[in-house]
Amino acid sequence: MTMRNHTPVTEFLLMGIPHTRGLENVLFVLFLAFYLLTLLGNLLILLAILSSSNLHTPMYFFLGNLSVFDIFFPSVSSPKMMLCLMGQGRAISYGGCASQLFFYHFLGCTECFLYTVMAYDRFAAICHPLRHTVITSRRACAIATLGAWVGSCLHASVLAFLVFKLPYCGPNEVDNFSCDVPVVLALACADTSLAQTVSFTNVGVVALLCFLLILASFARIVASVLRIGPAEGGRRAFSTCGAHLTSILLFYGPVVLVYLRPASSPWLDSVVQVLNNIVTPSLNPLIYTLRNKDVKLALRKALNSRSA
């Protein structure tokens, strides 16, 4: 009996969203619709940016990067989650769980850094317009993006290593539809204090610092726009920054709820992960294009040229 209790776990069972028994078909259709909307919307943004020379600017360079990550980010867990809702493929291998956790944090952290850089770009464009092209040159944008990728890869590697170097000897039921730090650590049969501390620091504190930097950038932007007055330039700046701020709040809200609260709730964790994984990436294309005339015009031209 002792040997059985200490048999290493070779796979995990994704239990899905608690208290949703009987709603699997409805949730499957809903999540599939959001996932397809995410893919279509972000692909259209990429098409508009790549096809229009007017959108080859730092702001749209970062927006294009964000669209790429918004395509891959929900793809980490959404297909597996929909298989679970169909009653198939509930099991995930040990390596698959580790890969899911790594890519989830790699892509999520990269988005976090991208939002921060995008906020700084808007700050430079509005508060220092004469120096904007120097501050956000092509070289600077490439370095910032590469730094976001490398930093995020390091962050995700550290988390995955600390979480999966712990022994797992059962039970193996994950109270979620994907492998993430809080739900996987709950299954470890060893002291998890180091992994929890690093997770809190890497995810919670770093995300909070990025959020504060974003707020500082927007505070300077608001002060600058108020000095401009209610001119067309001021209204356009508020419109652009309003879209960016809305997307940021939708992204950071779930992060705060999952990683910065003292107690864990499987049901709340699952709902928050759904918002973060599926809903927010599908809303970003709408947020950035509905009130953006440049993107809508570029997309219309691109679609017309391909249908002609």
pLDDT, position 4: 44
Paired with 174 in beta bridges are 14
Q: How sure is the predictor about 54, in pLDDT bands with cuts at 50, 70 and 90?
A: confident
Query: 308 pLDDT exceeds 60?
Result: no
The DSSP symbol for 185 reads H
Q: How sure is the predictor about 108, in pLDDT bands with cuts at 50, 70 and 90?
A: confident
Percentage of the chain beyond pLDDT 90 is 15
pLDDT, position 100: 93
- The contacts of residue 175 (CB under 8 Å, 6+ apart) are 15, 18, 183, 186, 266, 269, 270
The yes or no reply on domain 2-300 and CATH 1.20.1070.10 is yes
pLDDT, position 232: 52
pLDDT, position 123: 87
pLDDT, position 260: 59
Q: Which of 213-217, 273-277, 299-303 has the highest mean pLDDT?
A: 213-217
Q: How sure is the predictor about 162, in pLDDT bands with cuts at 50, 70 and 90?
A: very high
Average pLDDT over residues 266-281: 76
Tokens 């919670």 -> residue = 204
Cα–Cα distances in Å, from 157 out to 62, 97, 214?
24, 14, 25
- The contacts of residue 98 (CB under 8 Å, 6+ apart) are 160, 163, 164, 179
Query: 280 pLDDT exceeds 70?
Result: yes
Q: What is the mean pLDDT of the chain?
A: 82
- Asked whether the beta carbons of 159 and 199 are under 8 A apart, the reply is yes
Average pLDDT over residues 156-160: 93
